[in-house]
Amino acid sequence: MKNFILVLMLLALHYSVQSQSKLPDFSNKDDLAALGEGKIFETDNTTIRNIQIFEIKEFWLVYIKNNSLHDILLEKIIKIEFPNSKWGKIYIVFINKKPEVRFY
């Protein structure tokens, strides 16, 4: 019986770790939509609120605000916060123009 409980606990631990390790794929439109609404913090200390990421290009990001598409250079972004994403409260930073997910 102890072995059975031990195996169940190990399986539960394995599945919980596996589900946590999946991060958003920025080339997948469904994952971008699952991020939800967020805020862009710019290098000039302005904040763009209520945005949704549409796509990430090599040098810029395309986002939706008020049902319109806008773009911004990646070098102007400090971070983008998503408080209610599918993955929990996360933010994205761009290191060498590559998006990197970080958790709060």
Residue pLDDT, tens place only, 17-68: 544 458 999 999 999 999 999 999 999 999 999 999 999 999 999 999 999 9
Name residue 103's amino acid: F
How many distinct structural domains can be found in the chain? 1
Query: For the domain that residue 39 is a member of, what is the CATH number?
Result: 2.30.30
Residue pLDDT, tens place only, 66-90: 999 999 999 999 999 999 999 999 9
Does 3 fall in a domain? Answer: no
Q: Is 79 left (phi over 0), alpha (psi -120 to 50) or beta?
A: beta
Does 17 fall in a domain? Answer: no
Does 45 fall in a domain? Answer: yes
Does 16 fall in a domain? Answer: no
Of the pLDDT bands very low, low, confident and very high (cuts 50, 70, 90), residue 1 is confident
CA distance 49 to 62: 14
pLDDT of residue 56: 96
In this prediction the pTM is 0.78
Segments forming the whole domain that contains residue 43:
25-103
Does 89 fall in a domain? Answer: yes
